[in-house]
Amino acid sequence: MRIFSICLSALSLTSVISFTPTSAPNTRPSSTSLFANGGVVITGSAGGVGWAYAGEFMDRGYDVVICDVKDCTTAAAALEQKHKGAKVFHTNCDVSDAESVQNLAKFAKEKLGTVTHWINNAGINGGRRDLRDVPMSQVELVVKVSKSLV
């Protein structure tokens, strides 16, 4: 968790970090009240680092949109249960497809209003094996997904 805190500190969230809620623990104002209807979009967030980023932002009062090529329903439900007070919205998105990313942007605008942070976390790799054993189709897919995030 320390790594995530350091990363979030680097985003200069001083107004959020210094915010001290006066309400009971586990109740935070949503980003609609803190950030004039803004929120965070995190690609590749059905699990792993992206899911953890979403939880950290929710703990700081941001509403988030999570997306992945995998179904995010379970991930969103777990985030809602663990991080009360902020909202999480989910959708599917293949970041290697321009139309899918445009649909994500529209979805995020509808759900969050203003997007204050966009984290391109989605990515794939060829697995932990000798590069000579990775099929060319896998190499092409890794390059396609990574290139689309730039």
The model's pLDDT over 4-62, given as tens digits with 9 standing for 90+, comes to 433 443 343 333 333 334 443 445 555 445 544 479 999 999 999 999 999 999 999 99
Q: Domain for residue 111, yes or no? A: yes
Which residues form the domain of 102?
A: 28-123
- Tell me 131's DSSP state: G
The model's pLDDT over 77-128, given as tens digits with 9 standing for 90+, comes to 999 999 998 999 999 999 989 999 999 999 999 999 999 999 999 987 767 8
Residue 39 near residue 61 (C-beta atoms within 8 A): no
Q: Domain for residue 8, yes or no? A: no
Residue 32 to residue 63: CA distance in whole angstroms: 8
Q: Domain for residue 139, yes or no? A: no
| Domain count along the chain | 1
Q: Domain for residue 79, yes or no? A: yes
Q: Domain for residue 66, yes or no? A: yes
What is the reported pTM?
0.69
Q: Domain for residue 74, yes or no? A: yes
The model's pLDDT over 54-64, given as tens digits with 9 standing for 90+, comes to 999 999 999 99
Q: Domain for residue 9, yes or no? A: no
CATH code, 42: 3.40.50.720
